[in-house]
Structure formats: C-alpha cells, structure tokens
Structure 1
Amino acid sequence: MDARGVSRNDLQRYCAVLARQFPFALSLNSQARQAAADRAWAAISRFYEHCRLKIPGKKGYPQFQRDCRSVEYKTTGWKLEADGIHIRFTDGCGIGRLRLIGSRDIMTFPLSQIKRVRLLRRADGYSCQFAVAATRRVEHQPSGKQVGIDLGLRAFFTDSEGNTVAPPQYLRKAERRLKRLHRRLSKTQKRSAKRKKARQALSKAYLKVQRQREDFARKQANALVSSHDPLCLRSLADPPSRQEPSSGQEHF
C-alpha cells in the first residue's frame, strides 16, 4: 500500500485483506474497519493537500497511531433496543450490551437517521456518540451590528470597538494540582495498582482543563455570532513568528 497513486478505495479494499491476516481485525465489524480506513485516509489526504498548497513548515506526514481511543460503527454492528436506554454491539469484539446514561432520548429519532455510532474512551470513562442526520435550525435575530476580532495572547480576543476578553488561564490555575499529581505518579512503582490510579487521576485533571477551554471558547463564539451580523476575523497569510508582520500580510 505504500506506493504512489493509492486512493481511498484502495484502503477500503485492503481492509478485507487485513481481516484475513489478523484475528483482531476479523472480529471487528466490516463497516467499522472501513471507518478506520477513512480516518487514515483523512490524514493522508491532508498531507497531500498541504504539499500541493506548499504550506510552509511541516506538512503533517501521517504517523502510525499506536493507541486508538475510539471505534466507529456505521449502520451495522450495533442494535438499539426497544427501551431506548440499551445498545448491543453484535460484532465479534465482545462488547455486548451497554446501558446508555444521559439526558438525550435517542429513540425520538428514527433508526434510519442514525448514521454513525462511536464508542469513545476518555480518562473519566466511556461515552457513546450518535451521528444523526437531522436539520438543526437556530433562530437569529438581526442586530445590524458589525464587529471584527483579533485573537491574541495577552487578551483572548479584542474587537473593533476596543472591548477585550481576558484569557481564563485554566491551565495556569490548575498548575499546582497538576504538579502534585505528577509528583504522586513519579513516586509509584511501575505496573502497580497505585500507579494506574495515579495516572488516571492525572489524566482526569488534564481532561478537565481541556473541557474548560473548549467550553469557554464555544460560549464566547456563540455570544459573538448571536449578537452581531457580519463577523470579521483578522488572520495572517504566514504563520505567527517573532517578527512583526508587514501590512501586506494582514487581511480580513
């Protein structure tokens, strides 16, 4: 497969070859293998696109992914039970029957609209994600306001009216706890139960910071979009550097 001219369809067909060679690939659902091939092709096509556009810096050469935290099923390999709170995976991986916990009632959507089911493993446990083909409508009241924003380091962003939003600095606030968890992890013995517990606590702390950052960014973006009609973002033609960009590099 490592040759010139390999396409997405070639990766899809190669999944059947791998299934005959490796038992763990054979036990996985065929469409789940195709979804994994699509994920690999996304990295390959992104590398080709960066080379074609001659993007400066590293082009993002596809690397081998040692650990994969998620598995994605399409329309087969899973079955949602009639009660709406249990899902059963029918391939040979042995996942079996799982109970769904959450506020979303997935049974309100027809099964024909559920296009993807993904099992995701994070530091705080497992989650089941459903990709549903549905039209989402968000009512927007025109305000007639125009604004431009400039992202920065000292301020999260500054708009054209002079208003600034201070960065929340979630990582800076969590540094003391993270350092303490790192010290606790370094004092444990490798391959011990205490080390596994300490590593999980450290992963949860980093996951909390990640979710805080994402939640803050989404709320700020939603506030800007809902309160303004046209929104302009200042960007640079070249990647950020230590030198001040010239006036010809800035555009909206």
Structure 2
Amino acid sequence: MNGYFFDMDGTLYNNRFHEVSEKTFKMLNELQSQGHFVALSTSRCQSELKNLPSCMRSFQFDCMISDGGALILDKHKEILEMNCIPKETMRSIDQFCKERNLEYRYSTRGGNYFGTPYSSFAHNIYFELYLNSPVYKPYKEDEVLNVLLFCQGETKEALRPLIKNLGYVEYPDCFELRANQVDKATAVKKIIDAHAFETTYCFGDGTNDIDMLKLADVGVAMGNACDALKEVSDVVIGRVDEDGIYNFLMGK
C-alpha cells in the first residue's frame, strides 16, 4: 500500500474555474480501489472545505489534514489530533490587530471567522478563491487552529516578536499562523509513522508544501507550482488545468 497526500488549491482543485477535473477525481477513486491510502493535506479549514465542488465534498479521504496541519481527522472525520494556538498568544494577536486596525481571520473546529471588521481587500481574497467570506465574530477565548493575519511592511516586523513561538508561513500580504511545530509536514509524518506505506507521494504547489514534499519518498510539484517548491521536488508534472496528477499517475 502506498500513501498519497494531496494539497487542495492549485493541486487537486483549479481555483480559476472552481473545478476538480473528472480525470483527477477518477484517479483518486482508482487509487483507493487499488488499496492505496489517499489523504488530503490543506491549509483550508473545515468550513472552507464546504465551498468545494460537490465531488470533493462527498469524497471520503482516508485521512484529512486541514488548517495547515493543526487538525487531523480520520476517514470518519473523527479527531486524531488537534493543536491549537495558545489562548494567551491569541489574546495578544487580537489586541495587536485591534490597535492597528488590522484584519485577521481565525478558524476553529466548527467555524471560520474574522476577529476584526474586514474590508473589501480581505473579502476579495476569499471571492477569488470562490469562498464565502467568514462572518465577523470577535475573539472570545475560542480554541483556534489557524490564523490568517493580513499585514505588510513595517507592521510585519512589529508582529514578528509576538509570533516567534508559533509556526507560520509568510506571504506578501499576510501571515498564516499555527501552533508551534505544527505544519502540513509534521501532520503527514504522524500519519506515515502510523502506517507501513511502501512508497509515500506528496503533491503540492505552494511554499507551504515545501517541507511536506521534502518528507515524501516522491515529492511531486505541479507545473503551476512556485519555483521554490519545484526546486525541492523530485518531479515536476503538468499543471492542475492540464490533468497533471492523472497523467503522471497513469504513466507510472
């Protein structure tokens, strides 16, 4: 039995056309029918997964890693592991954002919210991903799995001391924050350690997939992946809009 771990956006899912191709979906089912382990590893939270095409909402992954590695669910969506950002740190993040009028979104096991009032900038980011914008719900001691904090320039530098003990991925316009030593790769490793996979394949397209691909026996970067991911991958395949996954696995 092999283990196959797939990122969602830009890997299985084509954001531009809001679709998972028929061939890609067919391949996921084929892998499972052959007795392989098929897992999802995404930075989306559980609420954001509900906005995917119906085929993805109904597909039963053998394991689902969400919130950038903070939440691991089994095939029945029972919790295998959940790692939350410390509440003291969340209170500091919330205060930091309120003092500077920054927008941030936080996810919990059951929801996805803006902790501060949001602008058209944040709304448009979600619109471009075909996601419903989270509602505004001030933070009140929730168990938080993942935070997207929108900031740039000097504000980023002011934030760094506050998040030094968290796991994070930095993007041009935001930070994605998680608990310390929590990311996609650490979550994938826990699943690998619990199974005896003959070969482990990890597929991705973004900088938050780098460590996950390094961990795999075969790290697979999509043709539309960022250059940094392609550099650490074992193989670069076709783009998400070219049925890259299907063509690669059919040719193995």
**TM-score between both structures, scaled by the size of structure 2:** 0.26
Larger of the two Rg values belongs to structure: 1
Per chain length, whose mean CA-contact separation is higher, i.e. which structure has more relative contact order (CA < 8 Å, sep 6+)? 2
